[in-house]
């Protein structure tokens, strides 16, 4: 075997053996296995710390500042910025110590030596010296030996973080490399849907049992088409609304089964939309072409009715404090209103030029209000700065949904595509998802799974479609409904639980 071969590891010879051994030694030290680490250093002839850093350590711990400066100046391949920063750190510590001991001569000597070594101009060094000499650290009188020792260790730590490889190793390097490899495997796993640690013993791959694909329960209490369905944020409730003019609050039991908690009677027209308050204590319901109502989840009682019969609400959303809500009107001149829970108007965006609002949502962080208006346009309004960005789509948009991290949103288009945009505006073009059927009706999609990895959508061909966000074609098509599936909702706390609402008067729970 050639020497070159023996210094490389791995089937392809891509890993340098001495580097591999060195990061194992570092890992052993960081995990507290000091004896094993020093034993490996001895046996392999590989040290965890480079010669330069060992010399630096000995000079710093003994307070030999002149030699420290010489060592830092002798290290090749350092950028001037890194060298200057390292010298400043040493300079600062030495000044501090000499000044505390009252050794003004040594402080001046180091100052003069430092001025010539740093090549950054006298003013900068003098300013630093002045700020150190008159800092709070100087007010406390003499330092004891323990304090000196701790400050020197802190300086060593700062230099270890600052100096590049191979002089020092990035902290926890082996853990970082292994975690990167695991993340790469997770990223290429289409069905990955759990947040626990994965095993290192085999390459990672999930089966389709990680996502909801089987009907586990069918809810039949609604007497007409079910238009909307949404799980609460804590995953303990499900709300649904129907053209039978009711909304229902369902309770999700520990074993995952769903039972009826309250039927909400009060709307005179079909109920088209519901929205949970972020604390899950309140629920909003929108009547189709009528008022907005606020319900107490625990008692099932109506707490407030917003607007009157002239105010037609299309959709509503909550701010993170669970005290403020917004709703959009499909009447072009009414615009968007912000209310508190008692019906006091806090703000309004309205006027002759205000188009009709088809759907709206607030990002979970409360920073942006996203609305769909004029059929094909998306408006992202930053609530704090009042700046806005408009995205134009080529086809009519029927619904909007936002990811839990407030970074992405999806819109359903009647061109049989779902588009994903980012809130910050980095994407020039949307990511597209296709395969479902949508041309006539309002179909709603949602994010789901751990880290909003998946997208699910209803469809006019009575099926439910599931995509992994990285792939434009569905990974699953779920059969079970007999008519159009209008809306889906993924349980945030139970990543293997999905609900779908259909014109066949039922809600399917998938698991």
Look at 83-92, 178-187, 405-414, 429-438 and tell me which has the smallest mean pLDDT: 83-92
Distances (CA, A) of 466 to 91, 339, 414, 474: 60, 36, 18, 5
Question: Mean pLDDT throughout 15-34?
Answer: 96
- Distance, in Å, from the CA atom of 8 to the CA atom of 32, rounded to the nearest integer, reads 28
Whether 65 contacts 94, CB under 8 Å: yes
User: Using CA of residue 468, residue 472, residue 476, residue 478, what is the dihedral sign?
Assistant: positive
CB count, 10 Å around CB of 200? 10
pLDDT number for residue 4: 43
DSSP code at position 277: -
Question: Mean pLDDT throughout 60-81?
Answer: 90
Tens digits of per-residue pLDDT, 265-279? Answer: 999 999 999 999 999
**pLDDT grade for 313, boundaries at 50, 70 and 90:** confident
pLDDT number for residue 103: 66
What does 178-214 look like in DSSP terms, one character per residue? HHHHHHHHHHT-TT----SPPPSSS-----GGGS--S
Question: Mean pLDDT throughout 115-136?
Answer: 62
In this predicted structure, the answer to whether residue 98 has a pLDDT above a threshold of 80 is no
pLDDT number for residue 5: 44
Look at 92-96, 155-159, 235-239, 240-244 and tell me which has the smallest mean pLDDT: 92-96
Q: What is the mean pLDDT of the chain?
A: 90
Question: Mean pLDDT throughout 62-85?
Answer: 90
High-pLDDT (> 90) share of the chain, %: 74
Q: Which residues contact 85 (CB under 8 A, 6 or more apart)?
A: 162
pLDDT number for residue 356: 80
**pLDDT grade for 312, boundaries at 50, 70 and 90:** confident
In this predicted structure, the answer to whether residue 408 has a pLDDT above a threshold of 80 is yes
CB count, 10 Å around CB of 160? 17
Angle 293-295-297 (CA atoms, 0-180°, nearest 5)?
155
pLDDT number for residue 468: 97
Q: What is the pTM of this model?
A: 0.81
Strands (E), 245-323: 246-252, 258-265, 271-276, 282-287, 292-296, 302-306, 313-318
More confident residue, 317 or 333: 317
Both structure tokens of 193: 């849907």
pLDDT number for residue 3: 39
> Which burial class, exposed, middle or buried, applies to 410 when counting CB atoms under 10 A from its CB (0-12, 13-18, 19+)?
buried
Q: Which residues contact 129 (CB under 8 A, 6 or more apart)?
A: 95, 111
* DSSP-derived 3-state class of residue 439: coil
pLDDT number for residue 102: 67
Q: Where are the alpha helices (DSSP H) in 119-172?
A: 122-133, 145-162
Look at 21-35, 121-135, 294-308, 475-489 and tell me which has the smallest mean pLDDT: 121-135
In this predicted structure, the answer to whether residue 426 has a pLDDT above a threshold of 90 is yes
pLDDT number for residue 2: 35
**pLDDT grade for 96, boundaries at 50, 70 and 90:** confident
In this predicted structure, the answer to whether residue 1 has a pLDDT above a threshold of 70 is no
- Distance, in Å, from the CA atom of 140 to the CA atom of 117, rounded to the nearest integer, reads 30
In this predicted structure, the answer to whether residue 311 has a pLDDT above a threshold of 80 is no
Tens digits of per-residue pLDDT, 139-195? Answer: 555 667 888 899 999 999 999 999 999 999 999 999 999 999 999 999 899 999 988
Whether 506 contacts 481, CB under 8 Å: yes
pLDDT number for residue 481: 98
- Distance, in Å, from the CA atom of 213 to the CA atom of 191, rounded to the nearest integer, reads 11
- Distance, in Å, from the CA atom of 232 to the CA atom of 230, rounded to the nearest integer, reads 7
pLDDT number for residue 97: 81
Tens digits of per-residue pLDDT, 340-375? Answer: 999 999 998 876 566 788 899 999 999 999 999 888
In this predicted structure, the answer to whether residue 107 has a pLDDT above a threshold of 70 is no
More confident residue, 144 or 449: 449
pLDDT number for residue 120: 58
High-pLDDT (> 70) share of the chain, %: 90
In this predicted structure, the answer to whether residue 116 has a pLDDT above a threshold of 90 is no
pLDDT number for residue 400: 96
Q: Is the peptide bond before 166 cis (omega within 30 degrees of 0)?
A: yes
Whether 370 contacts 399, CB under 8 Å: no
pLDDT number for residue 466: 98
- Distance, in Å, from the CA atom of 337 to the CA atom of 154, rounded to the nearest integer, reads 55
pLDDT number for residue 310: 72
């Amino acid at each position: 075997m050639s020497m070159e071969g023996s210094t490389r590891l791995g089937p392809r010879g891509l890993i340098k053996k001495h580097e591999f051994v060195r990061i194992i030694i570092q890992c052993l030290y960081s995990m507290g296995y000091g004896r094993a680490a020093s034993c490996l250093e001895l046996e392999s002839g590989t040290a965890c710390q480079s010669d330069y850093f060992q010399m630096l350590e000995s000079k710093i711990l003994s307070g030999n500042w002149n030699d420290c400066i010489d060592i830092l100046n002798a290290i090749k391949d350092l950028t001037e910025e890194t060298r200057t920063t390292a010298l400043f750190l040493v300079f600062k510590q030495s000044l501090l110590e000499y000044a505390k001991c009252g050794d003004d001569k040594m402080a001046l000597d180091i100052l003069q030596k430092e001025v010539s070594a740093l090549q950054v101009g006298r003013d900068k060094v003098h300013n630093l010296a002045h700020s150190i000499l008159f800092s709070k650290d100087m007010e406390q009188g003499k330092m004891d030996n323990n304090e000196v020792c701790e400050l020197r260790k802190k300086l060593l730590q700062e230099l270890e973080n600052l100096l590049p490889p191979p002089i020092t190793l990035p902290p926890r390097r082996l853990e970082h490399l292994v975690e990167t490899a695991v993340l790469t495997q997770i990223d290429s796993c289409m069905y990955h849907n759990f947040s626990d640690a994965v095993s290192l013993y085999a390459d990672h791959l999930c089966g389709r049992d990680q996502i909801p694909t089987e009907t586990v329960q069918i809810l039949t209490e609604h007497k007409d088409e079910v238009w909307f369905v949404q799980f609460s944020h804590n995953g303990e409730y499900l709300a649904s609304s129907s053209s039978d003019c009711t909304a229902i609050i369902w309770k999700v039991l520990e074993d995952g089964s769903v039972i009826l908690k309250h039927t909400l009677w009060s709307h005179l027209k079909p109920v088209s939309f519901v929205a949970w308050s972020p604390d899950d204590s309140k629920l909003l319901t929108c009547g189709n072409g009528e008022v907005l109502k606020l319900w107490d989840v625990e008692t099932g009682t109506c707490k407030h009715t917003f607007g009157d019969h002239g105010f037609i609400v299309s959709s509503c959303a909550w701010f993170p404090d669970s005290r403020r809500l917004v709703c959009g009107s499909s009447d072009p001149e009414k615009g968007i209103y912000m209310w508190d829970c008692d019906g006091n108007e806090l703000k309004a965006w309205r006027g002759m030029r205000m188009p009709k609002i088809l759907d709206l949502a607030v990002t979970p962080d409360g920073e942006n209000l996203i609305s769909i208006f004029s059929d094909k346009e998306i408006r992202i309004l930053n609530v704090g700065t009042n700046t806005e960005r408009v995205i134009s789509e080529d086809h009519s948009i029927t619904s909007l949904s936002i990811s839990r991290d407030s970074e992405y949103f999806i819109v359903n288009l009647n061109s049989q595509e779902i588009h994903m945009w980012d809130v910050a505006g980095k994407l020039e073009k949307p990511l597209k998802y296709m395969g479902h059927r949508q041309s006539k009706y309002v179909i709603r999609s949602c994010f789901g799974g751990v880290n909003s990895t998946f997208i699910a959508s209803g469809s006019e061909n009575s099926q439910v479609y599931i995509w992994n966000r990285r792939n434009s074609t569905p990974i699953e098509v779920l059969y079970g409904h007999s008519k159009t599936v209008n809306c889906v909702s993924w349980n945030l706390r139970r990543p293997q639980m999905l609900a779908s609402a259909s014109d066949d008067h039922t809600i399917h729970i998938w698991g």
